[in-house]
Amino acid sequence: MFASIAALVLLTGIQDLGDELVVEAQSNMAARTVNMEAMDARRGAMDMTVHTTPDGIPVQEGVGMVETNKGDQQSRVLLAKRPSSPTGEMGTATFFAPPEPPADIAMRILALVVLICGALVAATVIMGALTARRLTAPLNEMVEDVMAISRGHLDRHIRGDDAVGEVAHLAVAMERMVDDLVESQENQEALAATEAEKENLRELRRHLEPMTFDVPEGWVVSSCLIEAGGAGTGDFVDIMADGAGFITALVGSPATHGMAGALLMAMTRAYLRSSLLGGAEPAVAFDGANTSLNRDLARGLYCSAIAARLDPQEGKVELVSAGHQAPAVRWDTEAGQLRKLQPNGIALGFDRGPIFRNSMETLHLDLKPGDALFMFSPAAFECVTVSGKKLGEAGVYQLAKVAIEQGMVAMEEKLRALVSEESESDLAFTMICHKVE
């Protein structure tokens, strides 16, 4: 663009200079002619060249010596033939001009070219400096921002508002890179927090194992806890025997997940254990735990549970449920079939007391030789099998049959073979089985 402007200025200047030279030459010729005529100038012999003007008038031009009353002088002579007049007169007009063009013409043209070229160079340098400054300023800002980010200031943004062209694209790309770095760091921190939470939950569960005791002859009381792949839900299983010889097996499921669910599990388990080991019946233990949890927990937090208390001498079982969404499954040997048992009751911690007590139902069972009672977490229904379908009631009852016939270890192996991946929930199972004599 600047070269085009400079060329235009140069051509305009040359044209103006040419006009000035023409006027100057005409003035010089007029003055020279008057002076030569005043000195009675007479043209001597000289070589002449003929030119024809646009008007068709032939003009002879030559340079040579001219005789004057002041001596011979060298001059340029132009002879123009006059056109014929109405009177028939014809003649030749003689004009005199300096023999050589002015010596300063070349210098004036050179000065004009140098001036314009100098202005072009100056403009180029100035624009180059401005462009460089416009480019380097955003780059310097970007370098400062990158250095700040490298020192851990990930809240710093890449400044590129004044950048243009490729520098602007570079600023956008770097800003995206920083966003990706921030997101990656946040994901790593979240993953680290999740892993730490998982490890804390595992450590908590390791210290809350079911009680170890000698099971009376003729009975099998077993449990199984399959931990979730992630933070888990805090579902728990417990087995205990009180001083009077009663054995209680229970499964619980908190209403929240993660660390909160684990803490709720620990609280619920502690309240129930304290009452049950003290000889309380399941309904009484559930009522005491409900009162304590309702007092301690924030609104909306609760824990469901199902418990079976066995009198191994009589083979009698008391079964209660506090809002547990999974029924107990009883194997009836005489009938040769599984039966669902779902006592009424609302979750622990949901109500202050009266409604909870009025809703509580206790089922009394007789477990004859060959009979069994199987309890589990509600999340077992939601486990996805390798075929992509949920385990559902039929799948869980199949697991119950395996546990009753082959034991809890075989049931766990069967479950792991059926399920396509680790469950997002903790899965708790327990069983009381009256062996055949």
**Closest to 205 in 3D by CA, of 382, 383, 426:** 426
Query: Looking at the domain assignment, is residue 251 inside a domain?
Result: yes
pTM: 0.60
Whether residues 84 and 128 fall in one domain? no
- Domain's final residue, options 47, 67, 102: 102
Query: Looking at the domain assignment, is residue 42 inside a domain?
Result: yes
Whether residues 18 and 149 fall in one domain? no
CA geometry: angle at 114 spanning 109 and 116, to 5°? 95
Whether residues 233 and 380 fall in one domain? yes
Query: Looking at the domain assignment, is residue 425 inside a domain?
Result: yes
pLDDT tens, position by position, 58-90: 888 888 888 888 888 888 888 887 776 555 455
Query: Looking at the domain assignment, is residue 132 inside a domain?
Result: yes
Whether residues 135 and 229 fall in one domain? no
Domain with 111, as residue range(s), is: 106-183
pLDDT tens, position by position, 256-292: 887 778 888 889 999 999 999 999 999 999 999 999 9
Whether residues 336 and 291 fall in one domain? yes
Whether residues 76 and 91 fall in one domain? yes
| Number of domains observed in the structure of the chain | 3
Higher pLDDT, 117 or 287: 287
Query: Looking at the domain assignment, is residue 200 inside a domain?
Result: no
- Specify the pLDDT at position 2: 53
- Specify the pLDDT at position 114: 72
Whether residues 114 and 87 fall in one domain? no
Query: Looking at the domain assignment, is residue 203 inside a domain?
Result: no
Q: Which tokens sit at 363?
A: 């089922």
CB atoms within 10 A of CB 198: 18
- Specify the pLDDT at position 7: 60
Higher pLDDT, 197 or 281: 281
Where residue 221 sits, what CATH number does that domain have?
Answer: 3.60.40.10
Query: Looking at the domain assignment, is residue 199 inside a domain?
Result: no
Whether residues 147 and 229 fall in one domain? no
- Domain's final residue, options 71, 102, 133: 102
Query: Looking at the domain assignment, is residue 118 inside a domain?
Result: yes
- Specify the pLDDT at position 309: 98
pLDDT tens, position by position, 362-416: 999 999 999 999 999 999 999 998 888 999 999 999 999 999 999 999 999 999 9
Q: How far apart are the first and last CA of the chain?
A: 108
- Domain's final residue, options 70, 102, 134: 102
Whether residues 39 and 60 fall in one domain? yes
Whether residues 364 and 229 fall in one domain? yes
Whether residues 339 and 370 fall in one domain? yes
Whether residues 162 and 225 fall in one domain? no
Higher pLDDT, 71 or 202: 71
pLDDT tens, position by position, 214-273: 999 999 999 999 988 777 788 999 999 999 999 999 999 998 887 778 888 889 999 999
The one-letter amino acid code at 185 reads Q
| Secondary structure string (H, E, C) spanning the chain | CHHHHHHHHHHHHHHHHHHHHHHHHHHHHHHHHHHHHHCCCEECCCCCEEEECCCCCEEEEEEEEEECCCCCEEEEEEEEECCCCCCCCCCEEEEEECCCCCCHHHHHHHHHHHHHHHHHHHHHHHHHHHHHHHHHHHHHHHHHHHHHHHCCCCCCCCCCCCCCHHHHHHHHHHHHHHHHHHHHHHHHHHHHHHHHHHHHHHHHHHCCCCCCCCCCCCEEEEEEEECCCCCCCCCEEEEEECCCCCEEEEEEEECCCHHHHHHHHHHHHHHHHHHHHCCCCHHHHHHHHHHHHHHHCCCCCCEEEEEEEEECCCCEEEEEEEECCCCEEEEECCCCEEEEECCCCCCECCCCCHHHHHHCCEEEEECCCCCEEEEECHHHHHCEECCCCECHHHHHHHHHHHHHHHCHHHHHHHHHHHECCCCCCCEEEEEEEECCC
